[in-house]
Structure 1
Amino acid sequence: MARPNDEVEAVLQEYADLVAITGGDAFKARAYEKAARAIGGFPTDISTLDAEGLREIPHVGKSIADKVLEYLSTGRIPALEETRAAIPPGVRELIAVPTLGPRKAMTLYEELGVSSVEQLLDAIHDKKLRDLKGFGPRTEENILHGIDLARKAGGSGGRILIDAAMDVAEQIVAELSGTAGCEGCAYAGSLRRMRETIGDIDVLVAATRSGPFMEAIAALPYTAEVIAHGEKKTSIRTTKGLQVDLRVLPPGSWGAGLLYFTGSKAHNIRIRELAVRHGYKLSEYGLFHAKSGRRITSATEEDVYARLGLPWIPPTLREDRGEVAAGLRDELPELVEDGDIRGDLHTHTDLTDGLASLEDMVTAAARRGYSYYAVTDHAPDLYMQRMTDAKILAQRERVRELDGKHRRMRLLHGAELNIGPDGEVDWPGEFLAGFDLCVASVHSHFNQSRAELTRRLVRACENPHVSVIGHPTTRLIGKRPGIDADFDAVFEACARTGTALEINAHPERIDLCDEDILRAKRYGVKFAVNTDAHSTTHLPYMRYGVGTAQRGWLTKDDIINTWPLQRLRRFLSPK
């Protein structure tokens, strides 16, 4: 389940939002927001810390530490509850709409009496927002898009980010695998296919007796409610509101059941059609002769696929995007795997907005067995990071000193540049030439015209010192839509200039997404799978980037940070 760090991060972030809504001290709101991020990214379980230990976390002072201890011991923060009570519930509902900030939500309530999403939709339909200062037709479009995003990514669909679902699934699989009689246990569904958001979790067990497993999942400490209880299936709701469906299969049906419950629905339909053409019938219980009803095979997925004339198809490809036809032609790609990643090329330290020191980030990367690792703190155009030439050069000297400290891992010194409104980046070419690599990203001016945004990204690609375009669409899942650029033109520019596109593995981004990867690959673009880590706890996010790369049909050759260092350096050299 969620770490105490994650719970406290959410509580402090809510408090920061509520302070902003009520017109409170902006410095106070910012302080709580910084503390929330620092606690969320802190590697140690904060429930094990006392007040002194909490105050050692960056941005956590005495007042915030006291509130954290209060929450950990009682589950409440009176100051937060008082602030909640002062704000109409409807306004808090409005804040959840991406693109609609706290102040605009309060303005809508005070000026128009809007206190729900439905009332907001009515107000937009009646064009009432256009009379308000700071609102207009473009604002209406953004809000409508934000409402649609919220409904698709959690508002009404109840979907959660992949990392939260993975935490729950892996804990349940570990618990049930230790139950007597378990012959196999795995999560299935969209989580096994590495979708970026998950509706509910499917867990499968292979066993001859189902009773012990149904009892075990109902008795888990984070089971809040048993929704349904049966011999073959039990559904629970966790204390965080996530539904988990457990199915117990006969061991002899394990392969067919795993295939069936992994999906997708469209993939299953495609292979059932193939089974019919072979005179078979395929279900979650096995592959059967259509006429005699005799079971042919079902023990493993590999066996089922083989009897249909197919190789085993990786779960991340099972979306009916041509994987069955490719399998029949023996043309499935040899997908990139976690172990193929040789290094992370986009990470941050506490020199800018990271939460860990350079030394700690390097040590954590070395523990992952990387061959190389890049530090890419923000450049000066993001003024809130207060970067200077002197600071970045001092960091470069320290990086060079640390290079070689961890055997078999080389360090690269880079920067994440800001792509300005006109496509320019922070430093001139002669200064950029001193970096081992430059990642360039859009961080502001998201509402430029389609032509302006396209030209902006293309110009960054054409900069000879830019090696990677970071989080290309800028989206935050369920919070902020991607920018409206002509990405086919951007993909063409990347292929022409030899600029890699990032697959940002942070679960809140997953940017590029799988569909964009598939489009970009057709142009011959190369990719970099990076974590954009701001903490040592973010480095394991790499698995989500690799899963997304697999969904985009990528191989090792497509991804520059699977390459040996010498080949990577050739790619990173000025174009």
Structure 2
Amino acid sequence: MRRNMEVANILNQVALLLEVQNVAWKPKAYRKAAETIENTAEDIDVLVRTGKLQDLPGIGIHIAKKIEEIVKTGKLTYLEKLKKEVPVDIESLSHIEGMGPKTIKLLYDKLHVKNVRDVLNAAQAGKIRDLPGMGEKREQLLLAGAQRLQQQGVLRMPRGFAVPIAEELIKTINKFPGTQKAIVAGSYRRGKDTIGDLDILVVSTKPEALMHAFTTMRDVAAVLAQGATKSSVRLTNGLQVDVRAVKASQYGSALQYFTGSKEHSVELRKRALKMGYTLSEYGLFTRKDKTRVASKTEEDIYAKLGLQYIPPEMREQRGEIQLAQHKKLPALIEEHNVHGDFQTQTTWSDGANSIPEMIRASQALGWSFVTITDHAGGIGIAHPLDEPRLKKQGKEIDALQKKIDIRIFKGVEADISKNGTLAISKAACNNLDVVLASIHSAFRMPKDEMTKRICTVLETYPVHVLAHPTGRLINTREGVAFDVEKVFQTAKDHDVFLEINGQPSRMDLNDELVHRARELGCKFVISSDAHSADQLRYVDFGVMTARRGWLEKKDVLNTKSVKDIEHILHAKK
């Protein structure tokens, strides 16, 4: 089982606890190691088994030994020691917006705050505002973040982080005796940006053997339930996984039922009743004599109900059944329609790989273009570009372009300042192929001021893309508040593309906003926001969100030829 995310999470917890203790250099080393493990395409188990851990950048002998301990035992003695020294719920507290290591330490030292409940109590009692560097606004920010976290309960995992786990599970289950077919259903299959658990359907000729093999897998931390055809486990990474054995003759109806959504399935059942059928996980039957009329495939079920096949990503009861009835479903964008990426970072700013390395990785994906968009502006990241460095980077790209066929678009991700100006001049913008504008600071402006801030930049500068428009971070920070209709209309009026950012922790725009922007006539780009070569695959997560927003190939710039893209981009100059 691929456990890269689990290992990275433990290393990040170590880094946080060391930062809380004001340890000088170790946190950076652990965070770098976590980032490397998270981003590498190599399975951490394989790296440990083959002794190749130290071949990875930032992994020295001491951290390598700790990673080996995590892989072999599922825990880290050093982390447990740190937790005893600083007895705080570091993982939960770090997901409260505005709660960094220094704040965690301050609240622990002064108010003995150890968990989310303690933050709520301290903030509601007005005890935080009087601490050094706090104040009433900061207290209210922490209170809101703690309340949001408490309401959410168990944090849902970003789907992008669940993908390698799900893929490895399917690979493992397919090797079990009697397995004929295995697929992940539920919200994962529908492409939702977060998941609570994984629901796996398995066509198996040996269901009891399947249940035994599943519940005794190496990465099972606890067996929650075990039966003849259904079992539930909790993995060592905390994720719950449910497996159901189904008959091949009932696979389609079971898949439709367990994929959901609940609202979509309810409407299907209502339609079935009106047509003289009953629909369940076992199949579509006539009401009169209980004759089975469809169950082997989802396609058969939808066809018998007089509907086009509805892709899983559309099954959210947003009018898709009515469209399917009239054979008017959109032809959703596919992964293979995307020919490149519109946002990547390199070692010129906060990326892990050089421009040549990012280009080679893009070529390996078969892309026809890639865009280099390192950060510009005072956004708190390492080495943001100023205009002289941006010009110097452009010369490197020009030199590389002469040697290769893949088109390299020269770009930048420029910060939108609080007053509605961009971090680089209009003249600098005009020397680039792609200008991304994004917000990285002052997230809590009033809605009308934030709307003006964004619209002013789109109206004033030659911006091509509004990047991760809401600025949200899943489980950590809510998106900024702005007038959606006004910002989207301004983007449309000024030929600015809206970004669908595929970073698992962002997924921004989300599917609902994509759906609304599409209705308003906006156009889109899909980006990985890759900070390493391995993250370029995040484009596929953006495609999933685009499908959930009902986008077609024609709606997305990435699907066009390089020549057409050049023509569209240069029209802004």
Q: Which residue of 2 aligns with 1:249?
A: 246
Q: Which residue of 1 aligns with 2:117?
A: 118
Q: Which residue of 2 aligns with 1:315?
A: 312
Distance change in 2, residues 1:404/1:226 (3 Å): farther
Write the letter of the residue equivalent to 1:346.
Answer: Q
Q: Which residue of 1 aligns with 2:480?
A: 483
Q: Which residue of 2 aligns with 1:23?
A: 22
More displaced, 513-522 or 282-291? 513-522
Write the letter of the residue equivalent to 1:100.
Answer: M
Q: Which residue of 1 aligns with 2:389?
A: 391
Which residue of 497, 502, 512 maps to 1:500? 497
Superposition deviation, residue 264 in structure 1? 0.6
Contact 1:41/1:355 (<8 A) preserved: no
Which residue of 217, 225, 229 maps to 2:214? 217
Structure 2 unmatched runs, 5+:
none
Q: Which residue of 2 aligns with 1:529?
A: 526
Distance change in 2, residues 1:224/1:79 (3 Å): closer
Write the letter of the residue equivalent to 1:223.
Answer: V
**Deviation string for 1:244-292 (max 9, x for gaps)?**
1111111111111110010011110010000011011000111111121
Superposition deviation, residue 305 in structure 1? 0.4
TM, length-normalised to structure 2: 0.92
Q: Which residue of 1 aligns with 2:255?
A: 258
Q: Which residue of 2 aligns with 1:558?
A: 555
The number of aligned residues is: 570
Write the letter of the residue equivalent to 1:391.
Answer: R
Which residue of 170, 184, 189 maps to 2:186? 189
More displaced, 500-509 or 398-407? 398-407
Q: Which residue of 2 aligns with 1:402?
A: 400
Distance change in 2, residues 1:91/1:346 (3 Å): closer
For residue 98 of structure 2, give the secondary structure of its aligned residue in structure 1.
coil
Distance change in 2, residues 1:280/1:197 (3 Å): same
Distance change in 2, residues 1:189/1:399 (3 Å): same
Question: For the residues of structure 2 that align with 1:74 and 1:263, how far apart are their CA atoms?
Answer: 36
Q: Map 1:449-460; keep pairs closer than 5 Å.
A: 449-460=446-457
Which residue of 322, 328, 333 maps to 2:330? 333
Question: For the residues of structure 1 that align with 2:290 and 2:68, how far apart are their CA atoms?
Answer: 63
Distance change in 2, residues 1:431/1:300 (3 Å): same
Q: Which residue of 1 aligns with 2:374?
A: 377
Q: Which residue of 2 aligns with 1:446?
A: 443
For residue 128 of structure 1, give the secondary structure of its aligned residue in structure 2.
coil
Question: For the residues of structure 2 that align with 1:92 and 1:325, how far apart are their CA atoms?
Answer: 44
Question: For the residues of structure 2 that align with 1:70 and 1:214, how far apart are their CA atoms?
Answer: 29
CA root-mean-square deviation: 2.6
Question: For the residues of structure 1 that align with 2:92 and 2:519, how far apart are their CA atoms?
Answer: 41
Contact 1:91/1:109 (<8 A) preserved: no
Which residue of 216, 220, 238 maps to 2:235? 238
For residue 154 of structure 2, give the secondary structure of its aligned residue in structure 1.
coil
Distance change in 2, residues 1:239/1:269 (3 Å): same
Distance change in 2, residues 1:246/1:318 (3 Å): same
Which residue of 32, 37, 40 maps to 2:38? 40
Question: For the residues of structure 2 that align with 1:285 and 1:51, how far apart are their CA atoms?
Answer: 46
Q: Which residue of 2 aligns with 1:177?
A: 174
Pair 1:94-2:93 in alignment: yes
Q: Which residue of 2 aligns with 1:347?
A: 344
Q: Which residue of 1 aligns with 2:365?
A: 368
Q: Which residue of 1 aligns with 2:108?
A: 109
For residue 183 of structure 2, give the secondary structure of its aligned residue in structure 1.
strand
Question: For the residues of structure 2 that align with 1:337 and 1:39, how far apart are their CA atoms?
Answer: 29
For residue 359 of structure 1, give the secondary structure of its aligned residue in structure 2.
helix
Structure 1 unmatched runs, 5+:
none
Question: For the residues of structure 2 that align with 1:442 and 1:136, how far apart are their CA atoms?
Answer: 24
Write the letter of the residue equivalent to 1:22.
Answer: Q
Distance change in 2, residues 1:101/1:222 (3 Å): same
For residue 203 of structure 1, give the secondary structure of its aligned residue in structure 2.
strand
Question: For the residues of structure 2 that align with 1:323 and 1:478, how far apart are their CA atoms?
Answer: 29
Distance change in 2, residues 1:254/1:406 (3 Å): farther
For residue 414 of structure 1, give the secondary structure of its aligned residue in structure 2.
strand
Superposition deviation, residue 480 in structure 1? 1.2
Contact 1:287/1:295 (<8 A) preserved: yes
**Deviation string for 1:416-445 (max 9, x for gaps)?**
111111121222222221111111111112
